[in-house]
Amino acid sequence: MSDKSNILKKYKIVFLGDQSVGKTSLITRFMYDTFDETYAATIGIDFLSKTMYLEEGKTIRLQLWDTAGQERFRSLIPSYIRDSHVAVICYDITNKKSFLNLDKWIKDVKLERGDDVIIVLVGNKSDLANDKRQVTIEDVESLHLKIGSKFFIETSTKANHNVKLLFKKIAQSLPEFNNEGTENENNTSNNNHNNPETIDITIDKNAPNPQTLNTCC
Binding interface with other proteins (CB under 8 A)? 10, 19-20, 36-41, 43-49, 63, 68-70, 72-73, 75-76, 79-80, 83
Q: What Å distances lie between residue 123 and 95, 107, 126, CA to CA?
A: 10, 18, 7
Least separation in angstroms between CB 97 and other proteins = 8
Least separation in angstroms between CB 62 and other proteins = 12
Query: With respect to other proteins, which residue has the nearer C-beta, 175 or 187?
Result: 175
Query: With respect to other proteins, which residue has the nearer C-beta, 41 or 213?
Result: 41
Query: With respect to other proteins, which residue has the nearer C-beta, 116 or 179?
Result: 116
Query: With respect to other proteins, which residue has the nearer C-beta, 36 or 115?
Result: 36
Least separation in angstroms between CB 104 and other proteins = 14
DSSP string covering the chain, please? ----TTS-EEEEEEEEESTTSSHHHHHHHHHHS---S--PPP-SEEEEEEEEE-GGG-EEEEEEEEE--SGGGGGGSHHHHTT-SEEEEEEETT-HHHHHTHHHHHHHHHHHHTT-SEEEEEEE-GGGHHHH--S-HHHHHHHHHHHT-SEEEE-BTTTTBSHHHHHHHHHHHSGGGTTS----SSSPP-S-TTS---------TTSPPGGGSTT--
Least separation in angstroms between CB 213 and other proteins = 29
Query: With respect to other proteins, which residue has the nearer C-beta, 11 or 152?
Result: 11
Least separation in angstroms between CB 143 and other proteins = 23
